[in-house]
Structures are given as C-alpha cells and as structure tokens.
A and B are shown apart, each in its own frame.
Chain A
Amino acid sequence: NAGVTQTPKFRILKIGQSMTLQCAQDMNHNYMYWYRQDPGMGLKLIYYSVGAGITDKGEVPNGYNVSRSTTEDFPLRLELAAPSQTSVYFCASSSGGESQPQHFGDGTRLSIL
C-alpha cells in the first residue's frame, strides 16, 4: 500500500531550466493537490484537481503547470526555474468526503541556483 509517491526526493536546478515533479497515488482518490512549503510559512496551494481531465489554480500558481490525464497521476511542471521556486513541494490526495483528510507524499526538496 504505497499511498502517495513523489519523485524525485531531491533536485538541484539551474535558473531557467525546466523539470517535472512526479506524483502518483494508488488509493483511487479523485482529489489531488500540489503544495509548496517554505520555512516559517504555511503550506501554499499551487494547483489542484477534482478528477481526471480537470485542474484548477490555487493560491500561488504562477510559474507552474499541471495536467491530470489519469486518476493516479498528477505531475507538476516548472517551465523556467527561478530562485523563488526553491522550496519543498508536497503532493496530496483525498477522497473528497467532508471529514476525509488529505494524504501527503514524502515531498520533493528543490533548490534553484
């Protein structure tokens, strides 16, 4: 029972490079989320999805893109990496029920130099 799996765990990028953060869940959850967590700050929602083929912007979407072609996968793409995108990125999923919590992956620690 893997839950939510994120890859890679660590990555260093140069300014202007692109990369995709992978996220997969095996719980058949419709709802999936991408957050970033910066020191001393609460988690900030980047993008979310309520089902395959449906995505929407969160609080801090600039500089990122997502797609949701299957229920299981929700990749996050950085097109032109900037130092301000240095952060820890968490993917989460939930069944969407009122009392149902979000389940988190182990995170991707990304540094832009």
Chain B
Amino acid sequence: GQNIDQPTEMTATEGAIVQINCTYQTSGFNGLFWYQQHAGEAPTFLSYNVLDGLEEKGRFSSFLSRSKGYSYLLLKELQMKDSASYLCAVRDSNYQLIWGAGTKLIIKP
C-alpha cells in the first residue's frame, strides 16, 4: 500500500527553527508537495520538490531525498502566524496526490 508518515504534532518557540519530516512509500514518484493549513481553512501551497536537494523560498525551505523516500520542511525565524498544520503530499505513478495526515505545529512565545 501507499503510505506517507509525518509526526502528529510539534512544538517550537517563536524566532526559532523547526524541521518537519515526511517519509513516504508510494507506487511511483512524480513530485512532492508541502501545504500549510490553518485551523478551519483550506490548504495553501508552500513548496514543490521533484529532484534531490534543497529548495529555498524565503523563511521556508524543503528538502528531498528520493533514494531514502524522505523530505523535510524547514521553517526559520518562526512567527506566531506559522502555527498551523503542515501537509506532505506525494504524486504517485497515476499522477494522483497521496496525502499525509499532517503535522500540527504549535508556536509558543
């Protein structure tokens, strides 16, 4: 079967750095997406990786290792507004997105 694993919940301090991990086992791989979802709202797109390595976009960076079936999202200079769930999704061989259950990130002052 297909599986995406993320930690259920993480806590970090305002101004700090946090790394959210995602491991996947899917039938084929055609890219990995990270989304942010605030409580009661829709998911919004953060990043896309299809090749190994680091993609940087402002305070957010995303890393991919296809050989290890592993990705992480790195958030720097945490702000209170970063409190949200972070969803990892992998596009499989049928070009459908397989979604993880999400990591709830709690930011403390």
User: Closest residue of chain A to B6, judged by CB?
Assistant: A42
Cβ proximity bits A90-104 to B, threshold 8 Å, 1 near / 0 not = 100000001101111
Take A99-B50, A106-B42 as given contacts and tell me if A42 and B98 are in contact as well, using a CB distance cutoff of 8 Å: yes
B45 x A42 contact (CB < 8 A): no
Contact of B87 among A42, A45, A99, A103 (CB under 8 A): A42
A101 x B101 contact (CB < 8 A): no
The number of residue pairs between A and B whose CB atoms lie closer than 8 Å in the complex comes to 44
A101 x B98 contact (CB < 8 A): no
Interface residues on chain B, number (Cβ under 8 Å): 22
B96 at the interface (CB under 8 A from A): yes
Complex interface residues of chain A between 70 and 113 (CB less than 8 A to chain B): 90, 98-99, 101-107
A106 x B48 contact (CB < 8 A): no
User: Closest residue of chain A to B45, judged by CB?
Assistant: A101
Contact of A90 among B42, B101, B102 (CB under 8 A): B42
Nearest Cβ on chain B to A40's Cβ, whole angstroms: 6
B29 at the interface (CB under 8 A from A): no
Give complex CA distance A20, B9 in Å: 34
Contact of A107 among B35, B42, B99 (CB under 8 A): B42
> Residues of B contacting A106 with CB < 8 Å?
41-42
Best-buried of B44, B96, B97, B102 by chain A (most CB within 10 Å): B97
List chain A positions with a Cβ less than 8 A from chain B: 40-45, 48, 58, 90, 98-99, 101-107
Pick 6 A–B contacts, CB within 8 A, sort by A: A43-B99, A44-B99, A90-B43, A98-B50, A101-B48, A105-B42
List chain B positions with a Cβ less than 8 A from chain A: 4, 8, 30-31, 33, 35, 41-45, 48, 50, 87, 89, 96-102
The 6 A-B residue pairs whose C-beta atoms are closest, nearest first, are A42-B99, A101-B45, A104-B42, A43-B99, A42-B101, A99-B48
